[in-house]
Amino acid sequence: MLLKKKNIIIFLNLLLISCIVLISCSKGNSPVTDDTVNPPDPIDDGNPVGFQGEIDWVKTFGGSNIDQAVAIVKSDDNAYVVVGTTNSIDGDIIDKTTTDSDYWILKISETGELIWNRTFGGSNDDVATNISKTSDGGYIVSGYSRSNDGDVSGNAGFHDYWILKLNANGNKVWDKTFGFSGSDQAFDVFQTKDGGYFVTGFLDVTASGGAGNDGRGAGNRHGVGEYWAIKMDASGEYIWRRYFGGTESDISYSALETSDGGFLLIGASESEDLDVTDSKGSYDYWVVKVNAFGTKLWTKSYGGSEIDNGYAATATADGNFIIVGDSRSTDQDVTNPIGNADLWAVKFNGNGGIIWNRSFGGSQFDSARSIVPITDGNYLIAGATRSTDGDVSSNNGENDAWVVIMDANGVLVFEKTIGGSNFDFGEDAVLGHDNSAVLLVGNTESNDKDIPRFQGIKDLLIVKLK
């Protein structure tokens, strides 16, 4: 009897190994699994019951000029709203007559069909950078504008922050501009817990002559450019404005509202003086913590002696934070470099102390542009890769859009590249409405392989993985 049991166990183990080998051979891009991640269940009724990591559909939108997406959010009616910029006046763009850049907002169905699209701007260049949902079912959009007409209510100089409030149907509710005589560029905006809004970006403080730092008094004039944070009320009027940085270039790409009512400003710093107290090298990830009134509480640099750019961050379930971007460094805080430039993730606590850092990629250039928490304590990252080795399972051409999922400990769970033989970039990704799909947006210059249609110089790209 004991012998029979042993034979049965041996047979089952051999059968399991054989199945794993067959699955591995047939799905070169299937999720990487270990003993903490269960492989997806099979599809037995035509409905998704688990993330397989395979392409469901790829769509491109645009015209004969340059069209690109930077962010995506889920709508309240099981669709998706994408924001980007367009220079086209033909193809999918139906309400634009001049080839300057305009904000471009698209609503996409669950199956990738275009429901509606709108452009917003004036007679000069207007560039969208992000979109967030608002509590009324509408959206708030960040970017920067050179216009002083059309949809843009004013302009104080070269580029101004341009904040656009939309309703659920994509119609303009209001807009606000903030800036001075130089190039002032907003990169992120979101609704705050008190019903107002918060925007962060870059202030050309040299051109502003030190203005834009309300309440901090004279003598705080810095250098080339600063992080510029603005707290607004529910109608978009500013409550306070603060800038932070040193005498070189400091750019904030993202921000978070923290549980204490304050904010984290995320980005990259070239400075090594004034507000920047612990510079590591050429450019560093740089985090600034402020309270609810914009008062600086602490700052922290992460990186090594080369260029490290932080683009996005998220809060974690355990009360900490993760910042992602790319790193060219091989020293100091970067403890596991892989290639030319790596997708670099840093987890840090509420005082800025590093908990861990992780590098992902291959021997070429790999970068992250967004990170969001998803199910099972994992994190979804969107970016791009030029590598063909290391953590990158395949590459279709010059550069591919790249989807990465890592677990709470910074372990790679899944990765997949999407693209053609030319340049393809991923900018943002979200978990689908049924929590079993991933939608990625970015741009493409390809017309083959994963890319089914190409219309112009560059097209907006949206991909669904199931």
Q: Name the residue type at position 33.
A: T
The whole-number pLDDT of residue 125 equals 98
The whole-number pLDDT of residue 50 equals 81
pLDDT, tens digit, for every residue of 211-241?
Answer: 999 877 555 567 789 999 999 999 999 999 9
How far, CA to CA in Å, does 346 sit from each of 147, 167, 297, 330? 38, 36, 20, 14
Whole-angstrom Cα distance, residue 107 to residue 271? 40
The region, left, alpha or beta by phi > 0 then psi within -120 to 50, assigned to residue 352 is left
> Which three-class secondary structure state does DSSP give residue 29?
coil
Could you tell me the pTM of the whole model?
A: 0.89
Contact 250, 286 (CB under 8 A): yes
Contact 256, 313 (CB under 8 A): yes
Question: Where do the domains of the chain lie?
Answer: 308-466
The whole-number pLDDT of residue 215 equals 76
Q: Name the residue type at position 204.
A: D
pLDDT, tens digit, for every residue of 75-95?
Answer: 999 999 999 999 999 999 999
Whole-angstrom Cα distance, residue 223 to residue 247? 4
Which residues lie across from 373 on neighbouring strands? 379
Whole-angstrom Cα distance, residue 186 to residue 164? 11
Whole-angstrom Cα distance, residue 287 to residue 302? 8
- Identify which of 269, 257, 253, 284 has the alpha carbon closest to the alpha carbon of residue 370: 253
Whole-angstrom Cα distance, residue 241 to residue 252? 14
Average pLDDT over residues 141-169: 98
Pure H helices in 200-346: 205-208
How far, CA to CA in Å, does 68 sit from each of 123, 152, 238, 439? 19, 21, 30, 15
How far, CA to CA in Å, does 403 sit from each of 29, 54, 125, 412? 11, 11, 30, 11
Whole-angstrom Cα distance, residue 347 to residue 314? 10
The whole-number pLDDT of residue 49 equals 38
